[in-house]
Amino acid sequence: MKYSSYLMIMIMLIGLGSLFVIKRPDGKPWLSVDMIFGEAQQQASTLLDKSKQELNSVVNSAKKALNDEETTTSQTTIYRWQDAKGNWHYSDRPNTRVNSQVHTLDPTKITIMAAENTEILETLGQDKGQAEGKIDVDNMKPTDVKKLVKDAQGLQKLMDERAKTLEDI
């Protein structure tokens, strides 16, 4: 059985090999290496050409988008001026009444952070009609002191979380 299997395999190999030697009526062999690999190579080169065209179109569109972004971001300017009280104001338009300083923004150097909860700061100035967020220490009650300590602890916790986030970054 083993020898017959080898004999069958040898006959098939000789038959396949003879296709490379036996010629058709036009004088070309029935099978050649160019026929086998030539078509595959042609399909591969066609696929390669298509992929190069797609890659070039993607690169060109990315360059165009980058150039569009650079023109819009490079033109980002802000204006700064100081009022009579000494407060600084920032705007996207210059103030016509005073001399405004022009600043251009580099978007690669701007860090954007999410807004934080500022409820603690808002509640400090609202207790008992206090003006401008000042705390009247002389008339404080023990409950006010407890609330102030609790707010300070909350603020400390918030600052610790921010510091940890900055260290992680």
Question: 66 and 2 in one domain?
Answer: yes
- What percent of the chain has a predicted confidence (pLDDT) above 90? 15
State the pTM of this model: 0.28
End-to-end CA distance of the chain: 72
Cα–Cα distance for residue pair 109/101, rounded to 1 Å: 20
Question: 12 and 51 in one domain?
Answer: yes
Per-residue DSSP letter, 100? P
Instruction: Give the lowest-confidence range in 9-18, 66-75, 90-99.
Output: 66-75
* Integer-rounded Cα radius of gyration of the chain: 40
pLDDT at residue number 16: 86
User: Half-sphere exposure of residue 68, counting CA atoms within 13 Å on the CB side?
Assistant: 6
Domain that holds residue 29: 1-71
> pLDDT tens digit string along 126-148?
554 444 556 666 677 778 788 88
Question: 65 and 16 in one domain?
Answer: yes
Structure tokens at 83: 């009022």
